[in-house]
Amino acid sequence: MSSAYATQLRLITARIVAAANKAVGSDAVRTVRVLPPGAAPAPRTAPTAPTAAPDGAQAPVKTREMGSPGFHQALAAHQAVAPVSRVDPSIAEAVERQTQAMRALSLQAFPEPEQAAHDQPAPIEQARTERRRQADVSHAAALRRARAERAARQAGTAAAVPQPTTLGRTA
């Protein structure tokens, strides 16, 4: 950050504080401190973890199976009272209705293509056949033009070769 930018930030500190407090919804931000370029506050250190025992032995990890008889009693009582399924039936019904509505909208927006009769080609095949036909027509016209230009060059005529039709695009 440049010193000019730092100066600009210092000038609009009041607006920054107001915007932050408006976003939070309280007066939590009181000031903004703009540090000079290159300066950074000292990093906060995390509390140190407890050190291991001097002999290197660690306590065993407690598991559910190692729990006291009272723990097992309380767990069994809780499992007997708690419902197996925590899904609210009304929510499940609402989700199912929403899913059906979305499928119906999807079918309206993207209808299933109609099946072609067994003796007719599928629509994609019809499109491919039409593309091939257009490409062949364009290719034939290009060959005719190239042959005519070559013949004109060999004959020594400088006249332009007339082009009866424009070439179609193949892609």
pLDDT of residue 164: 56
What is the mean predicted confidence (pLDDT) over 14-24? 90
Segments forming the whole domain that contains residue 145 = 124-171
Q: Does residue 19 sit within a domain?
A: yes
In a domain, 111, yes or no: no
pLDDT of 74 strictly over 60: yes
Mean pLDDT calculated for residue range 63-72:
86
pLDDT of res. 49: 59
Helix (H, G, I), strand (E, B) or coil at 165: coil
Angle formed by the axes of helices 3-11 and 13-24, nearest 10°:
60
pLDDT recorded at residue 140: 92
Average pLDDT for 15-27: 89
Mean pLDDT calculated for residue range 18-46:
81
Tell me, yes or no, whether 116 lies in a domain.
Answer: no
Q: How many residues does the chain have?
A: 171
Q: Which two tokens stand for residue 64?
A: 């559910």
What pLDDT does residue 102 have?
92
Burial status of residue 29 (CB atoms within 10 A of its CB: 0-12, 13-18, 19 or more): middle
In a domain, 130, yes or no: yes
Residue 160 forms part of a structural domain: yes
pTM above 0.85, yes or no: no
The residue written with tokens 């210092």 in the block is: 10
- Residue 44 has, within 13 A of its CA and on its CB side, a CA count of 2
Query: Which residue in this structure is represented by tokens 């199912």?
Result: 96
What are the pLDDT digits (tens) for 80-110?
886 666 777 888 899 999 999 999 998 888 8
Give CA–CA dist 44/35, Å, rounded: 17
Does a structural domain hold residue 2? yes
Residue range 125-164, pLDDT digits in tens: 888 888 999 999 999 999 999 999 888 888 887 555 555 5
- Give me the number of domains the chain comprises: 2
Residue 119 lies in a domain: no
Question: Which residue, 121, 171, 167, is CA-closest to 144?
Answer: 167
